Structure formats: structure tokens, C-alpha cells
Amino acid sequence: MIYISLRQAVTNIKLQNTTTLLTLRYFITGGAGFAGSNFIDLMKKDPENDIIVLDNCIHGDSDYFDKLSSDPQIELVRGDIRDQKDVERCLPGIDVVLHLAALIEVPYSVRNPIETHDVNVNGTLNILEACRKKDVSRIIYPSSNLTYGEPVYLPVDEAHPQNPVSPYAVTKCSSEKYCYAYYKTYGLKTTMLRFSNLYGPRGLGVINIFIRAALEGRPLEIQGGSQMRTFTHIYDAYQGALKCLKNFSSIGEIFNIAGPESESIEGISGIIAKEIPGVKINHVGSRVGDVTSSRYHISNEKAAKLLGYEPDYDLRKGIRQVIDFEKSL
């Protein structure tokens, strides 16, 4: 039997009785990053939410971080997830941890594998250990579809073998295992989400790179082009995380959280070209550490069945949203 503290029981009651966004006290790591900043923007829509944000502002958007300083809902801490003191001073009174801090770019991990491991794996272990000591009720850990590597069968479900091909993907796979071990060994209520090729406002992936290039009149540089991806809008990823928090059967589980459709990199360039006239395209070689399969699709079946997850953003809707966001800057 897993021990449940009084504070955890109170958090469970809060989770069961919320009807829209969850009115809780959140700790978000990586709040200046792509996922963190979007999660914060959405969570702030509920004025009852209290949010503590930790970021070292080295790789994230420091301007966004600074803008939050005047927001009464937000408490900012400039620090490092690898520093136990930085993490522990953020945890008193926290109901939910959204551990979004990570080095997420595959090419960067290829050039800097040791740093990527240190931040992504050791940082996650530090977060888990601090949460264990401070009796935190729930932890959401965002992993990646890249932990699967090249597909062995389709669609790729949660039981698919994990054969990561980049240092980044290895760190996500390792951190997943730590999250599960802390659930089994210490009863820490972790849930792991394998997000699939995220894009959206302030994104860093290929869709965002292509859109920025097109709007600036630069050619789209396609590395390979035939490789398929199941792209996921960050707003859908957020809804997937919320559904996990509402559903206690998600504790100790792993879920794919993906968009409704898959498309090749070449196909993405074509969609963007229809939205932004005059786009030029250059083809270059495939990048190191990439999943290159031309047949690929991530299954949402488990999340749909157990959580009621259903993505709202198809590719065209999502790409138009990102274009509008970039034009507004």
C-alpha cells in the first residue's frame, strides 16, 4: 500500500473537484523555455493558480522570464535544477511539479552529450529526490517520442521498444526510468508523457524554424525531407498533462501525447508554402542523430481510452496559429 500524507489527500480532493483548470500551487521548472512558457501562459488564465517558476535563463527566453516578474500569480526563482538548494526552496506548499526544464535540441546534444546528460538526467534525479523529501503530491515528467528510435511497427504505442539514437533521446529514456523507479520504490506519484515533436509559440523545432525563415524571406533548409513525424501543438500537450492530473489512474503510467496526424518534413514545407507565398526551399543532407524513417505514426490510443485525450490542433490549424503568433511579435 502506498502511503498518502494529509497534504497529498488534500491535493487529491482539489484535483477531483476542479471543473476547468486546476486551482493548485504549481512548481514549473524551465519556465523560460518553450514548453514552460506556454504552460504558464495557459495556467495564468485561472487567477486562482499559484505558480513558482525555476529557470537558469541560459537557454530559455530571458525576456519572457523578466516579463513575469510583475505578475502577482508568479514567483520567480533564478536557479538550476541540478542545485539541490535551488530546488528545495521552491517546494514548500507545492501540490504539483511540472518538470519541463531540459536541453531539448538534438543537434546540441550531439555536440554536447555530457552537458545534456548532466542537465537532463542528473537534474531530473535531483528534482525527484527533492520531491521525495518534501512530500510533493504529483509530478508530471515530459519525455519524448524520440526514445523509441526507428519504428519497429506502426503505429508506435507505449509498448514499442525504446532504441534512442541521439544523446538527447537517451537522456529522456533514462529520466523516464528514474521517474518510474521513484514511483515503485518510494511511492512518488509520477506520470511520464511522451510528447511527439512539439511545435507552437516560441517553439524550437522544424515547424517553427521553417515559419520564421519563410516570414523573413529566407529559404527553408530541408534536411532529408522524407522522414515522417507526428507533430503535436503545445496546447494539446498542455491539455494532455491536465488530463493526467485529473485522472489518478495515470499515476505510474506512461502515455503518448501526440497530434492527430503525421507528415513528412517535405510535406510540412508544402503546407507552410501555401500559407506564406514565395517560399524558397533548399535541400541539404540529413542531420546526425535523426530518426529517418519515411513511415511513422505515434498512437494516442492509450491516452484517448484512459484519459479522454483528443488533440484539437491538426497541422493546418496549428501552423496557422504559429504564423499568426510570429507575425504578432
Catalytic residues: 168
In 3D space, the residue among 32, 33, 34 whose CA is nearest the CA of residue 199 turns out to be 34
Residue 181 included in any domain: yes
Lowest mean pLDDT among 56-70, 167-181, 186-200, 237-251: 56-70
What percentage of the chain exceeds 90 in pLDDT?
A: 82
Average pLDDT on 232-259 reads 98
pLDDT tens for 148-191 read: 999 999 999 999 999 999 999 999 999 999 999 999 999 999 99
Of 16-30, 168-182, 200-214, 216-230, the range with the lowest mean pLDDT is 16-30
For residue 227, tell me if it sits in a domain. no
Decide if 308 is inside a domain: yes
Q: Is residue 216 part of a domain?
A: no
Contact of 172 with 179, CB cutoff 8 Å: no
In a domain, 135, yes or no: yes
Q: What is the pLDDT of residue 141?
A: 99
pLDDT tier at 288, thresholds 50, 70, 90:
confident
Residue 189, in any domain of the structure: yes
Is residue 133 included in any domain, yes or no?
A: yes
**pLDDT for position 16:** 53
Task: Note down the domain range covering 120.
Answer: 7-200+232-259+299-312
N-to-C CA span, the chain? 52
- Whole-structure pTM value: 0.92
Mean pLDDT calculated for residue range 275-290: 88
Residue 289: the pLDDT is: 79
Q: Following DSSP, what letter does each residue of 169-199 receive, concatenated? A: HHHHHHHHHHHHHHHHHH---EEEEEE-SEE
Q: How far apart are CA 160 and CA 147, in angstroms?
A: 10
The answer to whether residue 46 is domain-embedded is yes
**Bigger pLDDT: 129 vs 66:** 129
Q: Which residues contact 286 (CB under 8 A, 6 or more apart)?
A: 223, 224, 227, 292
C-alpha–C-alpha distance, residues 29 and 53, integer Å: 6
Query: pLDDT digits over 105-125, tens only?
Result: 999 999 999 999 999 999 999
Q: What is the CATH number of the domain that holds 115?
A: 3.40.50.720
Number of domains in the chain: 1
User: What is residue 63's predicted lDDT score, i.e. its pLDDT?
Assistant: 83
294, pLDDT greater than 90:
no
What is the Cα–Cα distance from 147 to 163, expressed in whole angstroms? 6
Q: How far apart are CA 219 and CA 217, in angstroms?
A: 7
Count of CA atoms in the C-beta half-sphere (13 A) of 36:
32
